[in-house]
Amino acid sequence: MKLRFDLSRRASVVLPVLLVAIVSILESCKTKELPLPIFGERKVVNGDTLFHRIAPFAFVDQDSAVVTNDTFRDKVYVADFFFTSCRTICPIMKTQMLRVYEATRDMPDVQIISHTIDPEYDTVALLRDFATRLGVESGRWHFVTGVKDSIYKIAQTSYFATALEDKSEPDGFIHSGAFLLIDRQGRIRGKYDGTKEEEVNRLIVDIKKLRREGNP
C-alpha cells in the first residue's frame, strides 16, 4: 500500500511537469518562423554557397545625393520601378508603397528606393516635386534617376523586374508593378504585386519577419 501511495504521489508531481514541457515544445514548434526564400541562382564555391545579390549601382535621388549599395548597408529595403508621367499602374503602386512607408515609419533600418525608367523626363527637380507631393522624407524613400541603360539593366538582371521603352505602349514604356524585398546582404527575399492590396499586406508582414531574422 505504501509503495502504491508513493507511486501515486510521484505521478501527481511528475505528470503536470511533463504536461507543461510538452505544451511548451508544441508552442515553440507552432510559433517557429520559416525563413523567407532567397531568389535567384546560387553557386557552391569551395564548399560555400554564393547567392544572387543586387549588382553594384550608383544613382542620384531627389536631393541630388548619390545613392549606392552602401546607402542600404545593414538595412532592409523595398525597390520598385516607375515613372512620374505614368497613367496606368504607377498611381496605384505609389498608393500602395505609401502604405509600406507608413507601416515602417518607426523602423529606421527599413528604406525604399523607386527607380524612374524615364530618366530623360524625370529630372532630379521633378522627382523632388513628386516626393514632396507624396509627403515623404527623402532619407527614407529615395526616388532615383540615372543612365537609362543602367536602370534597365539592373531592373532586369538584378531585380528580375521588367523595365524597358516601348513606343507602342500607351505611356511609351513597359514595366512590372513588382515590389522587391531586399535583405541586409543585398539578396532578394520577396516579390509582390504592388497593385494589389493583399500582396502589399503580405510584404509588410514579411518586412517585419525579415527584420527579426536579422535581429534574433
Cα angle vertex 42, ends 36, 43, to 5°?
145
* Contact criterion met (CB below 8 Å) for 119 and 83: no
**Residue 7 pLDDT exceeds 70:** no
Confidence of residue 214 (pLDDT cuts 50, 70, 90): low
Q: Which of 48-57, 60-69, 189-198, 207-216 has the lowest mean pLDDT?
A: 207-216
Q: What's the pLDDT at 150?
A: 97
How many Å separate Cα 208 from the centre of its chain? 10
Q: Cβ of 17: how many Cβ atoms within 10 Å?
A: 9
| SS3 assignment for the chain | CHHHHHHHHHHHHHHHHHHHHHHHHHHHHHHCCCCCCCCCCEEEECCEEEECCCCCCEEECCCCCEEEHHHHCCCEEEEEEECCCCCCCHHHHHHHHHHHHHHCCCCCCEEEEEEECCCCCCCHHHHHHHHHHHCCCCCCEEEEECCHHHHHHHHHHCCCCCEEECCCCCCCEEECCEEEEECCCCCEEEEEECCCHHHHHHHHHHHHHHHHHHCC
Domain boundaries, the chain: 52-214
**Residue 26 pLDDT exceeds 70:** no
pLDDT per position as a tens digit, 69-103: 999 999 999 999 999 999 899 999 999 999 999 99
pLDDT per position as a tens digit, 173-211: 988 899 999 999 999 999 999 999 999 999 999 999 999
Residue 45 burial (10 A CB sphere; 0-12, 13-18, 19+): exposed
* Contact criterion met (CB below 8 Å) for 152 and 163: yes
Confidence of residue 170 (pLDDT cuts 50, 70, 90): confident
Q: What's the pLDDT at 23?
A: 42
* 121 or 166, greater pLDDT: 121
How many Å separate Cα 164 from the centre of its chain? 22
Q: What's the pLDDT at 215?
A: 55
* 189 or 43, greater pLDDT: 189
Q: Looking at domain 52-214, which CATH architecture does it have?
A: 3-Layer(aba) Sandwich (3.40)
Mean pLDDT of the chain: 88
Residue 5 burial (10 A CB sphere; 0-12, 13-18, 19+): exposed
